[in-house]
Amino acid sequence: MNILLIGSGGREHALAWKLAQSPSLEKLFAAPGNPGIAQHADLVTLDVADHDAVVQFCQNKRIDLVVVGPEAPLVDGLGNSLRAADILVFGPDKAAAQLEGSKGFTKDLCARAHIPTAGYVRTTNAADALAALNDFSIPVVIKADGLAAGKGVIIAETREQAETAIRDMFDGSFGEAGAEVVIEEFLTGEEASFFAITDGENVVPFGSAQDHKRVGEGDVGPNTGGMGAYSPAPVLTPALQKQVMEQIIQPTVDTLAAEGTPYSGVLFAGLMLTDTGPQLIEYNARFGDPECQVLVMRLESDLAKLMMATAKGDLAQTSAPDFAPETALTVVMAANGYPGTPEKGGQIRNLARAEREGAKIFHAGTAEVDGELVANGGRVLNVTALGSNATEAQAKAYAAVDQVDFESGFCRRDIGWREVAREQG
Ligand code: AMP
Ligand code: GLY
């Protein structure tokens, strides 16, 4: 089959690398892709906001399946436009992608389906939001409703911070995303991510992971898209995963199907493991980045076949995904300045030598200029390794990191610390 992959980050490089191993793949195209993805795909220039152009490309190149990496095109309805032209898509339609596109939508769905999640109020103006604050204890969580590139969540430690966050959001500091604001009860516990693949009706688990969102070692400093991750997350025990499937994932899929907006693609659940059980913090309508990198490192099944079955609604007839029991761990190498303004153009060398340490390096934000590889984004490389446990995977990943020559970059040296500490008792 011919596949078009949409996106240009480390997540998409990992998907391209795995799709390229599929016996059923004939040709892979990627729009826009990156130099790492170019090892597996023909890169094409397409404006993904121009749905007609994407449809036309798919018809010209006889594309059998479109795999959408990032959330923005899904929330924008690219899935609808492709399906309307009889093109199969891995990723939900616009209505179901509201699970990521609107936090209020997800909270209301949780309320209808009795899914465990933090208590909340949706508000559409500052006066209502400020009044609603009285019903919450401090700390309290203030969220811009829409897509805000991971920046729309404020954990307010004081009432003043909460009021400032509310005013900022309604004053437009998060653009359209802040036109609505969700106020949420603050949950405590350990966070973990759970993934499931669904064709709208059938659901199969697709592994667990934990990431490190803060830029600094020891999980301090500003939030980022994720500085590293590992899979599996043993805190999500088989019993807890069963509970998450039964109490969170399945009711979500069933409710969306019953309401006529079935969800097709991957569901990425951000969970808080509280004393009273797992609660849903948020949904994403796509794979995590860099969680995807560690999931596909462990995936033993044919990814193209699985994605095709999902898109066709054939998951019930397909064997469930198989994962290696090993731990995969990825270290993000970022450009100096990230998550502020990252320095662009810094030279990157010695990736082949680094991979000889037993790691796989996914390109996240790189470009090729005059035949040289340079940094071209905040998160630049994802150095990913498999080991018998987190300790071994971490050692292998950092052995490779140490071989990479990227002077204008940095990484955290403690990715996986929680799990490594548990392993070392
Ligand atoms: P989100 O963008 O919804 O994933 O939120 C970003 C981060 O904010 C999460 O990963 C959590 O660390 C934190 N967070 C979000 N909602 C809550 C909540 N209700 N209680 C505690 N922490 C939260
Ligand atoms: N790493 C978190 C995310 O992809 O949303």
Beta-carbon contacts of 341 under 8 Å, excluding residues fewer than 6 positions away, are none
Please give the Cα distance from 291 to 232 (Å, whole number). Answer: 10
Q: Which of 236, 177, 167 is nearest to 208 (CA)?
A: 236
Looking from the CA of residue 229, the nearest atom of ligand 2 is: 1
Q: Which ligand is nearest to the CA of 281?
A: 1
Residue 177 pLDDT:
72
Please give the Cα distance from 356 to 352 (Å, whole number). Answer: 6
Residue 150 pLDDT:
66
Residue 175 pLDDT:
74
Helix or strand run (H / E) with residue 83? helix 78-84
Looking from the CA of residue 281, the nearest atom of ligand 1 is: 16
Amino acid identity at 259: E
Taking a C-beta distance cutoff of 8 angstroms, is the pair 133, 183 a contact?
A: yes
- In the three-class reduction of DSSP (H, G, I as helix; E, B as strand; rest coil), residue 112 is classed as helix
Closest-CA residue, ligand 1 atom 9, reads: 281
Please give the Cα distance from 156 to 139 (Å, whole number). Answer: 5
Q: What value, to the nearest 5°, has the Cα angle with vertex 225 and ends 221 and 228?
A: 80
Angle between helices 291-298 and 10-19 (to 10 degrees): 20
Mean pLDDT in each 10-residue stretch from start to end of the chain (425 residues)? 98 98 97 98 97 98 98 96 98 97 96 97 93 94 85 90 92 78 96 98 97 95 94 97 98 98 98 97 97 98 97 95 97 97 97 95 97 97 98 98 98 96 91
Q: Which ligand is nearest to the CA of 225?
A: 2
Q: Is 355 left (phi over 0), alpha (psi -120 to 50) or beta?
A: alpha
Beta-carbon contacts of 234 under 8 Å, excluding residues fewer than 6 positions away, are 419, 422
Please give the Cα distance from 145 to 130 (Å, whole number). Answer: 16
Q: Which of 266, 268, 286 to mutate to test the pocket of ligand 2 (most atoms within 8 A of CB)?
A: 268
Beta-carbon contacts of 239 under 8 Å, excluding residues fewer than 6 positions away, are none
Q: Is 125 left (phi over 0), alpha (psi -120 to 50) or beta?
A: beta
Q: What is the pTM of this model?
A: 0.96
Residue 42 pLDDT:
98
Residue 191 in contact with ligand 1 by CB distance below 6 A:
yes
Classify residue 269 as exposed, middle or buried by CB count within 10 Å of its CB (0-12, 13-18, 19+).
Answer: buried
